[in-house]
Amino acid sequence: MYRRTLTAALAAVPLVLLSACGGGGDDADGGSGSAAACEPSGEDVELTFVTWVPGMDQVVELWNQKNPDIQVTVQETPAGNAGTYNNLFNGLEAGTSPDLSQIEYDSLSSFRLQDGLTDISACPGVADAEGQFADWTWQQTKLGDDGVYAIPQDSGPMALYYRKDLFDQAGITTPPTTWDAYYEAAKQLKQATGAYITHFPQADANWFTGLLWQRGASLFELDGDQVRVTVDSPEAQEVAQYWQRMIDEDLVATNLQGFSPELYAAWTNGSVASWPSAAWGYSTIRDNAASTTGKWAVADLPQWAEGDQAAGNWGGSTTAVLSSSDHPAEAAEFALWLNTDPEALALENELGGLYPAATAGADLPALEQGIEFYGGQTIFDVFNAAAGEVDTDFTWGPTMTDTYTAMSDGFTDALNGQGTLVDTLTAAESASRESLEAQGVPVAD
């Protein structure tokens, strides 16, 4: 989602640091390992919280008014992969990291590897909170063991945004329910209107990962202490082959970057007619293709087999208590409130566009209304249903940056006619394995 080159350049920074201070004993003494005791200190506590959700300062102000004994300071930073994660990794080494931070699901595992997270499962209220969140989001915070390493914040269940007017024009009166039907629709659409059905974003691994998630093609599996790399699984290859055919037959736009002005222009002038994307994407279209109001609609993501009910997820974050925190109980209490309190959820949705991970979020008035831009459709009904259909077993690796880099580099080549998407998966699999081994993570075979 963000510029890869910069990310890659910045990613090198903490590795240098790690090798420089490898095994330094002055690290916060392994706060992550044991979940033993987690009691509030009973004193007045001050916490710092790093986030990049717009408007989060106002939500925290609400908390501070209600909780004079636990005062939270917000530090608004650039998005995680745009530098904040590296800042936090450096801070964990040097002992200057904050108490809490927003961390995306795909990065939790990296933080765990660096001993950056606190297991808060024993903290008051945490164990009882499990039922308040979409199953898969809670599962993500457990990182394959019995601990709880973060509280889910928001998620990005995926559905299909499409230009109803263009689909109608091409004689496609019901949105495609399977990927096969989507392929046929792409041909029909191209012939009737000249439009591409969607774009395959350049240099963006995250979008494709969401589609892998829907297919049940987890990138990694945890096997005891070992990590198994399954980037190149048969399921993943099926997804890659499908999109490779779309590329080969010139049915998708291949010259557009995600979230680029060129893409927004293509949406506006009708040369790209749909976008399989996450719940938070509704404002991306609304605000960047404003003149197409009333022409879009949202349908379930096409399925791999007729009658299936599987959704993918793209993006989303947690609120994690870092191992450097001296007050995990208070921090966990704040994190729970932040992500379950109806008033907080409503503000986060309004100011930050968050689609809450808490199931109570589905009842937010803002998410029950018809949305004018989408012809008055109550689009969040679709996403609420999708949120319940996201595979709970999808697992990220602890060195996702390298996996992503290999994937996005390969995609760019494939879109330029060099190699294929399937080749990319093969290359990303071996790149992931290498980086795991380089980090000393035991790799299962």
Per CB under 8 A, residues contacting other proteins are 1-2, 10, 13, 16-17, 21, 50, 52-54, 57, 75-79, 82-83, 86-87, 90-91, 93-96, 98, 259, 261, 264-265, 268, 280, 283-284, 287-288, 290-291, 352-353
Q: Of the two residues 60 and 148, which places its CB atom closer to other proteins in the complex?
A: 60
Residue 314: in which H helix or E strand, if any? strand 313-321
The torsion angles phi and psi of 25, rounded to 5 degrees, stand at -80, -10
User: Six-digit token pair at 16?
Assistant: 């240098």
Minimum distance, C-beta of residue 286 to other proteins, in the bound complex (Å): 9
- Distances in whole angstroms, Cα of residue 436 to Cα of each of 94, 266, 268: 24, 39, 43
Instruction: Return the number of the residue (62 or 82) whose C-beta is nearest other proteins.
Output: 82
Q: Choose between 98 and 328: whose C-beta lies nearer to other proteins.
A: 98
233: left (phi over 0), alpha (psi -120 to 50) or beta: beta
Q: Compute the least distance from the CB of residue 100 to other proteins, in Å.
A: 13
Q: Minimum distance from CB of 150 to other proteins (Å)? A: 19
Between helix 205-214 and helix 234-248 the angle, nearest 10°, is 120
In the DSSP assignment, the letter for residue 311 is: B
Q: At its nearest, how many Å lie between other proteins and the CB of residue 33?
A: 23
Shortest spacing between CB 208 and other proteins, in angstroms:
16
**CB of 214 vs other proteins, minimal distance in Å:** 20
Contacts of 314 (CB under 8 A, 6+ apart): 156, 158, 206, 207, 209, 210, 213, 277, 278
* DSSP 8-state code for residue 123: S
If DSSP states are collapsed to H, E and C, what string results for 343-393? HHHHHHHHHHCCCECEHHHHHCHHHHCCEHHHCCECHHHHHHHHHCCECCC
Distance between CA atoms of 410 and 378, rounded to whole angstroms?
38
Residue 7 CA to residue 387 CA, distance in Å, equals 29
The least CB distance from residue 419 to other proteins, in Å, is 28
Q: In the complex with other proteins, which residue's Cβ is closer, 124 or 270? A: 270
* C-beta of 17 vs 310, nearer to other proteins: 17
Residue among 7 and 244 whose Cβ is closer to other proteins: 7
Nearer to other proteins, 50 or 247 (CB): 50
Tell me which H or E stretch contains 410. helix 400-415
